[in-house]
Each structure stands twice: as C-alpha cells, then as structure tokens.
Amino acid sequence: MSGIKNEDFISSNYSPVLRLTIGKWLNKKIAFQGGYQGRYFNAIADHDKHFYDFYFAEIVFDAKSILLSKIKGSRFYDLLFHLGAGYFQNHYYGNASIHGITGVSNNFTISERLKIKLDIGAIVGWDIYQGDDDILPNVSLGLVYNFNNF
C-alpha cells in the first residue's frame, strides 16, 4: 500500500509484496539481516503498477531477550524490531535512491528449525512516489528457516 493517510485505505491501493531476507544472529539480542523487497505498489493517483526493487540491510533487536533477559522459558513467540536502509530502484519513474526501512516481526515457533513470521514494516523516505515524504507500509506472512547446526 502506498501511504498511511485515511484516503490511502482503499482496495485499489493494495498490492502484493515479495520480501526475502537472510540473516545471522550476532548474539541473543542483536542480529544483522539483508534482503530484497519488491514487485510493485499501487498509488491512488493513477491505476498503474509502480514496479520497484529494494535491496536493504538491517539491524534486528530481539525485544524479549533485551527486556526480559532474566526470564527463562519457552521461545514459542519472538518479538523482533528491525531498522535499516536500502537501495530503492523505482522502475516506474526510472530513478534510484536510498531509503530507510523499519518494522516489527512476530515469529511463532512450529519446530526447532521452522517459524511462522508475521512482519509489519515500511519503507520510508523522500520522493518514493509523490515528491515529498513518502511511506510504503507492508504486511507480510512467511516462514523462517533456522540454518544453525548445519
């Protein structure tokens, strides 16, 4: 979806998002991840698909480990905050720029190696699609596979 104003919440403004990430935990509280987000977004100004590619790097913070470090127990649920920057290629306008990315991930453990991930995030920056402060919010549902002990 492009934007977060009341007028942006119309069905024609929603589009699919593809988000792939790979990362590494540095310790129990902080990780680094990089990835790709893209395909296209819709805008309320026209009926065109605004194709883009966004390559990013982020720092990830495990909120439960940071705030509740003394509590031992099940890791059924992980609350992760991520923040970073990336290279945004806007194929619709034929330009490229650097933008920020932020979000929160809710991970639910299925097995030792597999989790379900619900991520709520946004690409934020100047002139993504309308020539001023812009935001591309997104919600994605996916899987996390743990490659540890390979």
Q: Does residue 11 form part of some domain?
A: yes
The sheet with strand 133-145 has its strands ordered as 17-25, 30-41, 50-62, 77-90, 95-109, 114-126, 133-145
Q: Does residue 80 form part of some domain?
A: yes
Q: Does residue 50 form part of some domain?
A: yes
Distance CA 111, CA 32 (A): 22
Domain containing 136 equals 6-145
- Residue 5 confidence class, pLDDT cut points 50, 70, 90: low
Q: Does residue 91 form part of some domain?
A: yes
pTM score, two decimals? Answer: 0.87
HSE-up of 26 (CA within 13 Å, CB side)?
Answer: 10
- Give me the number of domains the chain comprises: 1
CATH of the domain at 99: 2.40.160.20
Chain segment 92-138, per-residue pLDDT in tens: 999 999 999 999 999 999 998 999 999 999 999 988 877 778 889 99
Q: Does residue 81 form part of some domain?
A: yes
Q: Does residue 130 form part of some domain?
A: yes
Q: Does residue 109 form part of some domain?
A: yes
Q: Does residue 102 form part of some domain?
A: yes
Q: Which of 111, 129, 141, 142 is nearest to 45 (CA)?
A: 129
